[in-house]
Structure 1
Amino acid sequence: MPTGVNQAVIAIWITIGLSVAAALINRWIGEISSGEFMWYIIVYAILCVFPYKLSKGSNPARWVYAIFFAVSILFMLGGVSSDMPKADWIVSIITLPIEIFIIYRLFQAEASLWFKQH
């Protein structure tokens, strides 16, 4: 696996970890209900598929991840994030440059060549 892809995978794990921490904080301070908290955890568990599949060289996972990133940016720009709990908003701001780094590393020439070979 190219270094850039490895860095992207590690960064994805970091963003998932930060998101889980935000969900815990939101639940702890009462910003979200137990049901909402469980929904968050289920979604984050599903997102764990991405770093796994990317580390195995899945080109479709790379493209789906990039599409999810683009859609999340559109939602943020569209104002959907204004209803987000405070910890989620803070984590979104923190992870935005990390997500840009991830996309950059996943689509560098070396990474693209590696994904095409798998």
Structure 2
Amino acid sequence: MQNVTSAEKPRSVQLAVLLIWVSIAVDALTTLLGNDGLTGDTLLFNGVMLAVYGVVNLMIASGRNWARIVYSVLVACEVALLLAFGLDGASDLDVLVTSFTLPLEAWSLIMLFGASADKWFAAPAAE
């Protein structure tokens, strides 16, 4: 497993991690401030999902290859749900947030699977 001390973290990975944090923060603010009629179940589900994204992002930042794969699967599921159910009935705020966070997530994926990132995630851990 890779850790940060074994090699210089590529700028693309640093930026991808930052974009993921921005996306998490925007989603958290939207959950807390922007949803009228938020139920306890919805708040719990969103909180758990944000925590999962946060832990995965911490693991990406520390060089865990499995974490970037898990993140890819999470984003793919998000896109699949969006394609399956669309944004019909969503509030204007939800549409705006999705229009903002989805490109951030896509761009972070592109950077996490670029050549320099691949090399860094594949490097052996420092002993």
TM bracket, shorter-chain basis: 0.7 to 0.9
- Would you tell me which structure has more helix in proportion to its own residues? 1
Asked which structure has the greater CA Rg, the reply is 2
| CA deviation string 1:53-83 (max 9, x = no partner) | 0011111111111111112111111115435
- Of 20, 24, 27, 1:16 maps to 24
| Separation in 1, partners of 2:88, 2:37 | 14
| Separation in 1, partners of 2:67, 2:90 | 27
- Of 33, 37, 48, 2:43 maps to 37
- Of 1, 4, 26, 2:34 maps to 26
- The structure 1 segments of at least 4 consecutive aligned residues displaced by more than 4 Å after TM superposition are 83-86
Q: How many residues align?
A: 116
1:75 aligned residue: 81
The runs of 5 or more residues in structure 2 that have no matched partner are 1-8
The runs of 5 or more residues in structure 1 that have no matched partner are none
| Separation in 2, partners of 1:17, 1:41 | 12
TM-score, structure 1 as length reference: 0.86
TM-score, structure 2 as length reference: 0.81
Structure number with higher relative contact order (C-alpha < 8 Å, ≥ 6 residues apart): 2
